[in-house]
Each structure stands twice: as C-alpha cells, then as structure tokens.
Amino acid sequence: MFCEANVTIACRLAGGGVMLGALAMLGGCQALSSSPERLDAERVEKSFVERDCPAERCATVEVDSLRFPGAPGLSEQLREELLSMGSGITNGKSETMASSWETYAKTFFDEAKATRERVPELPGYQAVFKAEVYDRHADLTTVKLDSYVFTGGAHGMPLTEFMVIDERERRVVTLDDMLREGQMPAYREALSRAHRRWLEEQQAGADFAESWPLSMSRNVAPFADEWRVRYNAYDIAPYSYGQPELRIPAQALEGIIKPRYLER
C-alpha cells in the first residue's frame, strides 16, 4: 500500500521521463513484497496450581510458550506438539493428549490426587513446558520445545523436540522434507560420524558404545554452520548424561540436504 501510494503521487506530479522512475519504484516495491513476511512470535504464559492439597505437595503446571499472531495454524501446531510432550508420561488418563492446557492441568491434578491417596508422602507432581526460538536464519525459524514432567521417583523426565518452520512456505518441515531423495543412508553415515566424535568427547569406551548404541533421530535443528541432532534421556546414554546433542557440520551435508535448507 505504501509503495503504490508513492507511485500514484509520482505519476500525477511528473511527466513521461519521471514516469519511468515511478515504474522503477513500483518494480522495486513488487520485488520487496516477494520476500516472506517475518514470522513474529509472542509469549504465552500460563500457570496452574492444584487446589485442596497438602501444603508443599500440590501439583503444578507451568507453561512458557509462543504463538504466532500472523500464523494461527502454526500456533495451533506448536501448542499441540507441546501438549503431546506431556502425554503418556504416566500410566493414567494423560496417555490421551489433552485438547487444551486447562484440560491437561485438570487431568494431571486428578492423577496427582489419586496417587497421593495411595502414597501420602509423595512430593507434588510437576509439569513444566517451554517453547523458545532456538535459531533463525535464511527464512528458517527453529523453535525448541522443552518439557519436564515429575510424577514421583528419583527424577522427572525431560523431553526436547525441534519444530523447524520454513517461513517462505509458512509450514513446518521435517528431516524427510529437507533430505534429497535417496539420501537417507548418507545422512545416517554423517550422523554416525557425529556420534563417534561425541563418544570421543565423552571419553566413552567400547563398552559404553555397545551398551548405548546409536539410534536414528529425526529431531534436527538446522543452524547455518551445523545441524544439531538432539536425543532425549536414555536414547543413547544414561540419564546422567542429560540429553545428548550430536553436531554435523553443514558442509558435511552438502549433496545430502536440499540446497534450500543449507542456505546461510
């Protein structure tokens, strides 16, 4: 609208020579408009605390997430993915994904109350969810989704998932979308090399590698200079190792990944 208005004014005030300049201006505006609209993000914060529960043993649910005002479909997809990360952690009703944070909190609190009736000294259940922009380059936005759910025992369970958004297409893309056709074996080999480097950094011996073999992961974050592949606890290492992240240099993925997703 801004560019068109300026061209109209130029046309009314100028003769034929200046008209060419006005047309050039319009062409520049049209080229500019072909760039993808920036994907802005806003914070979404929610907090739920169980009622009518013993002091210091009340269950809690904390949410620090994101939404995209200009892309409600992506906002919904992010919310659903984060909700799914809190489902199936326990043996109760939450194995079915909740439709909202309010529904999730209610089910979570019901499970906490039922468990507390059997084990009164149980510490309070805790669920924490977070979404943050992890990287942004070449019209790609990678959002890191984290959850931590504690329902008793020695520790809670952390999970991390990456959500890669192609801003040019306004959609979430997966590893399969980014791979060139027929290049999965080559990707696996690049991942295996990254795993061997990680084992060396951890000073892990042959026994460790045999007990905790590498598994395939599609949980990738494409940075400009490297790809980060995140594993969750117990995937390729004991809980004490946290969530291992293997790193593949971007140049090692040339010919394997579509050029669009190796742009800097």
Would you kindly state where each structural domain of the chain is located, as residue ranges? Answer: 2-33, 42-173, 175-262
Q: For strands 60-67 and 126-137, give the pairing.
A: parallel
pLDDT averaged per 10 residues in sequence order, the chain, 264 residues:
36 39 44 66 97 92 97 97 80 63 96 92 94 97 97 92 97 98 98 97 94 96 98 96 97 98 96
Query: What pLDDT does residue 95 have?
Result: 53
Question: Quick one: which H or E segment has residue 65?
Answer: strand 60-67
Query: What pLDDT does residue 56 have?
Result: 86
Domain 42-173 belongs in CATH node 3.30.920.30: no
Query: What pLDDT does residue 98 have?
Result: 87
Give residue 238's region: left, alpha or beta (phi > 0; psi -120 to 50). beta
Give the span between the Cα atoms of 63 and 28, in whole angstroms: 43
The CATH fold assigned to 175-262 is Actin; Chain A, domain 4 (3.90.640)
Query: What pLDDT does residue 136 have?
Result: 97
Question: Quick one: which H or E segment has residue 146?
Answer: strand 140-150
Name the residue with tokens 């599609």: 218
Query: What pLDDT does residue 38 have?
Result: 87
Query: What pLDDT does residue 214 have?
Result: 97
Query: What pLDDT does residue 47 have?
Result: 98
